[in-house]
Structure 1
Amino acid sequence: MSAVQKPTPVATTEPLDTVTGPLPAQGPLKGEGPIKVEGNLADNERLKRESNFLRGTIAQDLQDRITGGFTADNFQLIRFHGMYQQDDRDIRAERQKQKLEPMHNVMLRARMPGGIIKPEQWLAIDKFAEESSTYGSIRLTTRQTFQFHGVLKPNIKLMHQTLNSIGIDSIATAGDVNRNVLCTSNPVESELHQEAYEWATKISEHLLPKTKAYAEIWLDGEKVETTEEPILGSTYLPRKFKTTVVIPPQNDVDVHANDLNFVAIAENGKLIGFNVLVGGGLAMTHGDKSTYPRRADDFGFVPLAKTLDVAAAVVTTQRDWGNRVNRKNAKTKYTLDRVGVDVFKAEVEKRAGVEFAPSRPYEFTERGDRFGWAEGIDGKHHLTLFIENGRLLDYPGKPLKTGVREIAKVHQGDFRMTANQNLIIAGVAEADKAQIETLAIEHGLLDASTSEQRQNSMACVAFPTCPLAMAEAERYLPGLVDDVEGLLAKHDVADEHIILRVTGCPNGCGRAMLAEVGLVGKGPGKYQMYLGGNTGGTRIPKLYKDNIDEQTVLAELDGLIGRWVAERKTDEQGQVERFGDFVIRAGVVEEVIISVRDFHA
């Protein structure tokens, strides 16, 4: 790999409390508008400022056994340590009747840049999930990592110490910071993937908070006074920030769902630099037209040696210019639309000491995982397993969690968690293939009958644990896929698929706003239906039906699939028109080109 220059120091100007103009209702489209947003700061800014660099009173709260939860500011601050306080919503009402507080617990999301984990690490997290979490499962996520669900207060410190003992932490996997850095899970071009993965790790480390609060609270580390956060600032970022490294033509990380993306550019199989894409994001708020999903803008190409400088410059520009008044408009995508892409880009160039070169050619042609066996250029073999909803648990006749454990006991390579909630058994020698495959089949991890439709469908967690869920997602998806498979068979296209995603609320965790058919929860059993995403993941879908029930979802899909099969076209190369492209060409929905204008039109 090319040598990496020491990153250029970045200005540490703290964000101002007040700014020079009001936030436009939908943001200007011509690069006009204020650098800052005037108004009273959101309360999250106060709690970050008063937190003593993310310490708060978490340590004291942890000792309080009167409540199973965290109180006051600590409820928010634990997010910076990788945890969300949740409760079991299935039993919430019953506990209220019994005059009991909700069954508080935490969900932890680990920091795993690039999603690579060793077998011995896997065995340790499997043991903790089995013995010390109420659900007993391991959940693979769209952020290319794993989550523990249902960890009660007495086990939280043990959880962090268990992870630390195997070289894993959960620093900055939630909260107003740069979160787990994704990297394309490429099982074929192994050398290029290794380089890209190493950069994902470097970017993650470079952008981490420098406070030692995590080690002090959870690992009983020595107390070290924190005086500054050179990149994130003393009040950290205005909102969450997501970063990826992606290797075309696979867009398995869905770059347009992220604030900052490094698109790998290779020559002769070696990484030479990155195209930099900034300002993607999918979250929105029902009924609020100042919020919208947005594609990322391509700023241009930078050589490898400037990668960390550019990463820091984008983060610090967003730190200083982002909206700290209205958290619904605080993400990088809104900053770009408010100040103008060219203005933001010029500031990044100034801070990073670089001028973006024209973007190098690349194309995203697909984004699903390549299931089954694949041989890498290094002669090693890789087995990609489909894990529905990413939930590893032992089910009747399908002991999935046990199966991965048994594979981890004999596997000599590593595991790669994908951004599509699946798992790759990577680096398998020819002599070990048969044993690995046998274990996968015996435990239901490898099933030749799994349809392409199921493999290309995804959902967020939603009920019963997510406090933001408005409708079912993970528990709804398997039955929904059964029904969609039936519709495809009815119209004689059972071997084809539609990219289908369900999310229980509009926050975007299931990336429904990049699907050909995206369902976004609006209430119990009610969804918004969006249509028109594409195969490469470069187009935002548009609202087709609002607040419809599950029966209406199927009725609409029945008619639309029938039209697609009857009316679709075939190009000169023999490629059949995809569902997402058809619904736009046929005028079912209009194409979203500029998110803020076209999405709400």
Structure 2
Amino acid sequence: MATGHEGEKTTDLKHLGPGEGSKVEHIKLESQHLRGKISEQLQAEGPRFTEDQTQLIKFHGIYQQEDRDARQQRKAAHTEKAYQFMVRSRIPGGALTAEQYLTQDEISEQYANGTLRITTRQSLQLHGILKGDLKSSIAAINQSLLSTLAACGDVNRNVMACPAPISNRAQARVQEIAHAIAMRLAPRSTAYHEIWIDGEKVETIADEKEVEPIYGATYLPRKFKIGVAFPGDNCIDIYTQDVGLIARLEGEQLAGFTLVIGGGMGMTHGKSETYPRLAEPLCDVTPDEALNVVETIMTVQRDYGDRTNRKHARMKYVVEERGIDWFRQQVEERLGYQLQAASPVHIHAAEDHLGWHQQANGNWFLGLHVQNGRIHDKEGLRLKSGLREVIKRYRPELRLTAQQNIMLLDIQEADRVEIEAQLHSYGIETDPTKVGHYRFAMACPALPTCGLALAEAERALPDIVQALEEPLRALGLDGEPLSMRMTGCPNGCARPYMGDIGFVGRSKNLYNIYVGGDLLNTRMNTLYAASVHTEDLVAAIEPLLAFWKAERHPQEGFGDFCHRVGIERLRDEAASPSLLH
């Protein structure tokens, strides 16, 4: 197995000795292309799958979870854990029809917990589904011509793309190529349709022979993430991807892509061999070359990724430890030709696409903010009901964004006033300037459903952002953009290592604070303070805001300021009482 020594490959587990390879690798190998015993356990009594099968259902877009809020009460009552399931759809580029969205909305009411959640990879999650309702839920998703296959698991995940509506042919091709990559790298096993759709072929995949020509019997060492960006706009956090394709234009024509590789956010507390990493340039490709080159890059990771230690299994470690030159050579040998040198990349924005914007065809799109991606009704904001009524009536195309927001496309000029009035009647704000500092904030679900969560995130961040509004206002900084990202563990699902401020759960009510990222999402932040209690997070940030106000350069953002002055000076100066007056 690969341990960092050049030349060792890791795909053929048939020749492993006793104890070699992680447990998950053997589960995959023995699964008969992701079948395992899923069908048998799906029909069996009981609310859960066994541990080995929970690894396989991930490939089908399913995570087994529990209501951790109920854990102690159920333990005291000597009853089984409150098992439930999260189901994630694969939605390349976040592109949905009105009918597909309404299907997800209906499933959430009939089988899930009544909410929808937009993910940071432009897909949708349904939470709180019980085992007996999994098949009905997944069948309904497939009937809407979406799929949950490969939304999770050790495969290529949802392919991201700039969600802005098509303004020219080049932008159309960017979105088309993102979809083509998703289809090209989808698993070929027929297990998914056998188990969930009774063998009926609903979503077309080019080759359904019982082989995995790309993945092999053991698929990838870990998940794999790809994003396609439009020139200059880093709205999908391109440097956090395993493979990022940044479009290059000649006039309004798509000339090709600059590829960056080796990004990834996950790490493990106390394990120095794990770390977040930004992608780095590899090469330029033409539009016709893109699919082959991306597939070939993935096969290098398939063959050399660490299959003994899943915490060290992402492609970023292969790139970091073996080097970009070695990686390029591997790709070139497999392709049979030399790659072009990478062009310089210039990022000038990280658009959130909120508010009203006119499209090239004269219609409009409207980007709506969704706090932490959670679509539900609450007092004063009936977001779920309002979206449902507008989408039912006007049937817009939809896009989900990497910031967990939603866009309504192709709205006619004559309908704008009426749509805005209808949304306002449900408490839905259409002016992004009125969202406040939550406009650039994101959190992962964390507790109570995520089994990896060490601390709160989605339920904690709103109070923190609200508490920071007052000192920002008092300092005259209330109009300044400030990105805040919070996760309940170090795996980084909300990309906390890229924000102006990142809060990363360390244990119950304790967080590491990171500062110094940038709004363009091109630079990672740095650890500022470790193991800060939830109640002290705002107090830890307030002095930094005062220092920023006092010492910033004209128009200098908070993250840029923190990066410029450095962590040690931040720590020293923030301790000065004079900054608080």
TM above 0.5: yes
Separation in 1, partners of 2:352, 2:279: 22
* 1:152-231 matches, cutoff 5 A: 152-187=130-165, 189=167, 191-221=169-199, 227-231=210-214
Separation in 2, partners of 1:296, 1:234: 28
1:469 aligned onto 2:453: yes
Tell me the alpha carbon deviations over residues 425-447 of structure 1, each in whole angstroms, 9 at most, x when there is no partner.
01112122222212221222225
Q: 2:366 aligns with which of 379, 383, 388?
A: 383
The equivalent residue for 1:558 is: 542
Cα contact 2:482–2:519 (8 A) shared by 1: no
Q: Which amino acid aligns with 1:63?
A: Q
Q: Which amino acid aligns with 2:176?
A: E
Separation in 2, partners of 1:154, 1:62: 7
Cα contact 1:542–1:589 (8 A) shared by 2: no
Separation in 2, partners of 1:391, 1:243: 24
Query: TM-score when scaled to structure 2?
Result: 0.92
Query: TM-score when scaled to structure 1?
Result: 0.89
The equivalent residue for 1:578 is: 557
Q: Deviation of residue 225 (structure 1)? A: 9.2
Q: Deviation of residue 478 (structure 1)? A: 0.9
Unaligned segments of structure 2, at least 5 residues: 11-15, 202-206, 571-581
* 1:44-55 matches, cutoff 5 A: 44-55=24-35
Separation in 2, partners of 1:91, 1:450: 36
Q: Deviation of residue 350 (structure 1)? A: 2.3
Q: 1:296 aligns with which of 244, 258, 279?
A: 279
Does the residue aligned with 1:317 lie in a helix, a strand or coil? helix
1:500 aligned onto 2:484: yes
Cα contact 1:138–1:147 (8 A) shared by 2: yes
1:82 aligned onto 2:61: yes
Q: Deviation of residue 457 (structure 1)? A: 0.6
Residue 467 to residue 351, structure 1, CA distance change in 2 (3 Å): same
Cα contact 2:526–2:567 (8 A) shared by 1: no
Cα contact 2:188–2:208 (8 A) shared by 1: no
Separation in 1, partners of 2:69, 2:192: 32
The equivalent residue for 1:340 is: 323
Separation in 2, partners of 1:431, 1:226: 50
Tell me the alpha carbon deviations over residues 380-423 of structure 1, each in whole angstroms, 9 at most, x when there is no partner.
21100000011111111211101110111122430100011000
The equivalent residue for 1:351 is: 334
1:129 aligned onto 2:113: no
Cα contact 1:80–1:177 (8 A) shared by 2: yes
Q: Deviation of residue 455 (structure 1)? A: 0.3
Cα contact 2:471–2:542 (8 A) shared by 1: yes
1:146 aligned onto 2:130: no
Q: Which amino acid aligns with 1:279?
A: G
Residue 269 to residue 361, structure 1, CA distance change in 2 (3 Å): farther
Separation in 2, partners of 1:317, 1:33: 12
Does the residue aligned with 2:249 lie in a helix, a strand or coil? strand
1:237 aligned onto 2:220: yes
Cα contact 2:517–2:563 (8 A) shared by 1: no
Unaligned segments of structure 1, at least 5 residues: 1-17, 24-31, 571-575, 592-601
1:362 aligned onto 2:340: no
The equivalent residue for 1:308 is: 291
Tell me the alpha carbon deviations over residues 448-503 of structure 1, each in whole angstroms, 9 at most, x when there is no partner.
47344110011000011111111110001111110111121121111113111000
Q: Deviation of residue 227 (structure 1)? A: 4.3
Q: Which amino acid aligns with 2:256?
A: G
Residue 499 to residue 529, structure 1, CA distance change in 2 (3 Å): same
Q: Which amino acid aligns with 2:489?
A: C
Q: Deviation of residue 378 (structure 1)? A: 2.1
1:396 aligned onto 2:379: yes
User: How many pairs align?
Assistant: 557
Separation in 1, partners of 2:200, 2:389: 38
1:260 aligned onto 2:243: yes
Tell me the alpha carbon deviations over residues 277-331 of structure 1, each in whole angstroms, 9 at most, x when there is no partner.
1100010000000000001011121001111101110111100011111111110
Separation in 2, partners of 1:260, 1:496: 32
Q: Which amino acid aligns with 1:514?
A: M
Separation in 1, partners of 2:39, 2:9: 35
Q: Deviation of residue 35 (structure 1)? A: 4.5
1:40 aligned onto 2:20: yes
